[in-house]
Amino acid sequence: MSKEINELNFPGDVKYTKDHEYALLEGDTVKVGLDDYAQDQLGDIVFVEMPEIGDTFKQGDVFATVESVKAVSECYMPVGGEITAINEELEDEPELVNSDPYGKGWLVEIKPGDVAEMDTLMTSEACLASLKAE
């Protein structure tokens, strides 16, 4: 069952895309994953197809696909950069994206090409406001 909008978790230290990926700046890298709304809408996630370490993407590029019992969904890069880590735990436990999207359920870590691209993303307040407007 889907959560109500007021039940969704949008941490304030995280930036969001209109497609419901998130970007969390940690030092000189950015953790990327699906936000609480995206994982909730997808339902039970059964497989995540990841890029390779060293791959580079521009902001907005498709970098991964997530397969749930309902659908296959493309994931778009919130900021451009080089993949420095992938969450290998998701190979055996893709459901971590559902249970802990901002913690153990992250998808990739990147070294951003231009950290200023973070400023083009939405705050948690803006993300919630756009969901309420839908």
Q: Spell out the domains of the chain, with CATH numbers in brackets.
A: 19-127 (2.40.50.100)
Query: What is the pLDDT confidence band of residue 3, given thresholds at 50, 70 and 90?
Result: confident
Quick one: what percent of the chain has pLDDT higher than 70? 99
Four-CA torsion 103, 27, 77, 44, nearest 10 degrees: 0
Burial class (CB in 10 A: 0-12, 13-18, 19+), 92: exposed
Four-CA torsion 101, 17, 41, 103, nearest 10 degrees: 0
- Which pair of structure tokens corresponds to residue 35? 């936000």
Query: What is the pLDDT confidence band of residue 4, given thresholds at 50, 70 and 90?
Result: confident
Looking up tokens 């230290």 gives 13
Four-CA torsion 70, 16, 113, 104, nearest 10 degrees: -60
The Cα 5–Cα 34 span in angstroms is 16
Q: What is the tens place of the pLDDT at every residue in 40-95?
A: 999 999 999 999 999 999 999 999 999 999 899 999 999 999 999 999 999 999 99
Looking at residue 80, what is its pLDDT?
Answer: 98
Does the pLDDT of residue 106 top 70, yes or no?
yes
